[in-house]
Structure 1
Amino acid sequence: MYVILDIETTGGKFNEEGITEIAIYKFDGHNIVDQFISLVNPEKEIQKFVVQLTGINNKMLVNAPKFYEVAKRIIEISKDCTLVAHNSSFDYRILRTEFDRLGYDFNRNTLCTVELSQKLILDQPSYSLGKLTKALGIPMTDRHRASGDALATVQLFKLLLEKDINKTIIQDSVKYHDKRVEKEKYQKLLEAMPKESGVFYIHDSEGKVIYLGRGKNIKTEVNKLFLKETKRAVKIQDRAESITYEKTGNDLFTRLKYYLELDILSPKFNFKKVRKPFLQDFNSEDFIIFDKGREIEEHAVILVLNKEVFGYGYTNLAYQENRLDILKSILTPIEDKSLAKAIVKDYLNKNNVQKILRLENEK
């Protein structure tokens, strides 16, 4: 059983919106078997652009019931049903927020007709409710009013049920309120992570890096990310399809690799930081920094030439370290030398490394 829902709100700051109108149609997969439609007094001002869009103004809502007066009816009509909406994450969030204010934990499984349409009705120029229903010949009245939009969503959902021939796509698209599917996915991703220092890359379904993370324990950092409930963290969690990682062996390499790749990859969900120009020079013109590698007997190496960071990498043979020509061919060159210098210099000012070998005598 489904409840197909549409909500109109006051607009405003995230999680501070109020409901102005709600329409719910209980749908058994064939017919509407119950319905609830009501204006709602949000007890706050409606944003001007919302008034223009919906035609609902505060005067219309003076005598409308407040949310607590319709809450019981919403609970009853939606009991044991999957909540369906066009962009269900919005409508479900608004409902949960209102119930939270009443001290009630409102939980329902959800389906989104935007996501289902993208899977079952391919190659549409737009998946907005108005344009999609028009393209499909679904009649719509009272656009941007709860009842009109909800009825159009009922007709759209009927079509989606018919198009899901194997009856698997819709079932697989249900978002369970206990997040059982997400938890299983996160657990599988987490199991593959090492408990060592390094950087990790969150990839979306297309393989693109959407978030770059780092830490002394990659597994712990990934787990922290999956447990966060911020808006940004939830978006990363929803889009995470795979995670790759690179062990670094030490904190200096973790920082260097993280900031250099952050500049190159520009992942969607990382904060963009404005860097101040770095003016301080190294004390020596040419030297090699040695620190802990990823494995026993491996060295992490940074080569500085002419007071610039030439490159970084790993060695496990003294022969490689003692021959500058060989070492230069092994190391990964660095393009953003000012950024690399800032990271290395700042680290050396505050931390120790295993060894610094000055090359002045070899020039």
Structure 2
Amino acid sequence: MFGALFRPRDPVVAAYRAGTRWRPSLRTPIDRLRFVVLDAETSGFTIGTDRILTLACVDVSDNQIRVSAFRSWLLRQDGIAVNAAVAVHGILPSESADGRPEKEVLAEFLPLVAGAVLVGHHVGFDAGMLDRALRGHFRTRLRNPLVDTGRLAMAELEAFRKTGYPGQRPPSLDEVCANLGLPMHDRHTASGDTFTTAQLFLLLSARARRRLGRPLRFHDLAPRWL
């Protein structure tokens, strides 16, 4: 009885929760998993108070970026200040005012990621922003497993190996791409960073596969959950 009172009524959210209720075994071969690479540009760098301004995602499966499955959104957010974040991504308050309502965008986003592993560079921030928005609009959490290409780079690229020194941070997307000679697409846009991160994910996965000398399993990607 009490569970029914808190069950989400929105059918999109119910379908997302039903499709993302399981945690894949860490021994699952990655070719049995569906990955969605994403990026969000935000009004600032604080999960508790800042807002998502743009969001993009694309499917990656069978070692290919599914360009036909690419999606991007501009979100309407009122009262956005011109600050350091705006200086980075260039999304002005006037542009955000022409975006779509956040709840509407999330309702389109959820079916695309149901049951998928979410991949991003420093993905914990993007996931935290999405989780806060989902809780605010739909009273549900972001349930997907997360894979961080920044941490994959620390495992696969000698320049970024863990040193044991306190305070070592995962490398930025710029640093990893420079190390690999990977061109960057429209840096600091959600669309461009999504495509760049998808390419990076495929490159780092291939390096891990060669290093280990076997097909990758889920645990090789060091997944985590919020």
Contact 1:7-1:23 at 8 Å conserved across structures: yes
Change (3 A) 1:15 1:47: farther
Q: Which protein is richer in strand relative to its size?
A: 1
Deviations 1:129-165 (A, max 9, x none): 0121122111112111111111110110010111122
Distance 1:56 1:133 in 2: 24
Partner of 2:129: 94
- Please report how far the alpha carbon of residue 52 of structure 1 lies from its aligned counterpart in structure 2 after TM superposition: 1.2
Q: Match of 2:188, SS?
A: coil
Per the normalisation by structure 2, the TM-score is: 0.73
Partner of 1:68: 103
Distance 2:62 2:153 in 1: 17
State whether structure 2 residue 174 is matched by structure 1 residue 130: yes
Distance 1:170 1:130 in 2: 26
- Please report how far the alpha carbon of residue 104 of structure 1 lies from its aligned counterpart in structure 2 after TM superposition: 2.6
After the TM superposition, which residues 221-232 of structure 1 pair with which residues of structure 2 at under 5 Å, given as runs?
A: none
Q: Match of 2:37, SS?
A: strand
Q: What's the RMSD between the two structures over aligned residues?
A: 1.9
Structure 2: state its 5+ residue gaps: 1-33, 162-169
After the TM superposition, which residues 148-163 of structure 1 pair with which residues of structure 2 at under 5 Å, given as runs?
A: 148-163=192-207
Distance 1:31 1:11 in 2: 32
Q: How many residues align?
A: 177
Per the normalisation by structure 1, the TM-score is: 0.46
State whether structure 2 residue 208 is matched by structure 1 residue 175: no
Contact 1:10-1:42 at 8 Å conserved across structures: no
- Please report how far the alpha carbon of residue 171 of structure 1 lies from its aligned counterpart in structure 2 after TM superposition: 2.6
Structure 1: state its 5+ residue gaps: 178-363
After the TM superposition, which residues 342-361 of structure 1 pair with which residues of structure 2 at under 5 Å, given as runs?
A: none
Contact 1:11-1:47 at 8 Å conserved across structures: no
- In structure 1, give the amino acid aligned to 2:57: I
Structure of greater relative contact order (alpha carbons < 8 Å, 6+ residues apart): 2
Partner of 1:114: 150
- In structure 1, give the amino acid aligned to 2:187: R
Partner of 2:118: 83
Deviations 1:84-120 (A, max 9, x none): 0001111110100000101233311110101111001
- Please report how far the alpha carbon of residue 123 of structure 1 lies from its aligned counterpart in structure 2 after TM superposition: 1.8
Larger Rg: 1
Partner of 1:146: 190
Change (3 A) 1:72 1:160: same
- Please report how far the alpha carbon of residue 47 of structure 1 lies from its aligned counterpart in structure 2 after TM superposition: 4.2
Deviations 1:306-354 (A, max 9, x none): xxxxxxxxxxxxxxxxxxxxxxxxxxxxxxxxxxxxxxxxxxxxxxxxx
Change (3 A) 1:137 1:12: closer
Distance 2:156 2:200 in 1: 11
Contact 2:47-2:125 at 8 Å conserved across structures: no
Contact 1:41-1:66 at 8 Å conserved across structures: yes
- In structure 2, give the amino acid aligned to 1:45: I
Partner of 1:22: 55
Distance 1:131 1:169 in 2: 26
- Structure 1 range deviating more: 37-46 or 66-75: 37-46
Distance 1:141 1:47 in 2: 24
- In structure 2, give the amino acid aligned to 1:157: F
Q: Match of 1:108, SS?
A: coil
- Please report how far the alpha carbon of residue 13 of structure 1 lies from its aligned counterpart in structure 2 after TM superposition: 4.1
- In structure 1, give the amino acid aligned to 2:111: E
